[in-house]
Structure 1
Amino acid sequence: MSAPDDDRRVEFFDDGPDILPDTTADEHGAGWGESPADDDNTARLLEDRPPHWG
């Protein structure tokens, strides 16, 4: 029979830095030669919204 969860010893390991980034440079405007100010697409996305979205 195993011991209750409170009695088990848990060791935590530091995995170090991430091997791969969550996003790459080409997923942002700067990766395509755009300025960082162009990254805010909110106004353009709202304007390009399909008519059936209301």
Structure 2
Amino acid sequence: MATHVPDLAAYEQVLLDEILALGPVRDVRSTFAIRTVLSRGPLPVDHRRLGG
């Protein structure tokens, strides 16, 4: 599940009110990208090797 929020305050609300409110959820880890260091576009994927 991917959720997009406009800022950290909105993220905190989603985290506290929706994710951590789920009974089985006991721990959450988040990783944030501060900026893009290098962007070369999408990586080429050989669909034949993946069985697709």
Answer yes or no: same fold by TM over 0.5. no
Q: Which protein has the bigger helix share?
A: 1
> TM-score with structure 1 length normalisation?
0.22
State which structure, 1 or 2, has the greater radius of gyration over its C-alpha atoms.
Answer: 1
Normalised by the size of structure 2, how large is the TM-score?
A: 0.23
Higher relative contact order (CA 8 A, sep 6+): 1
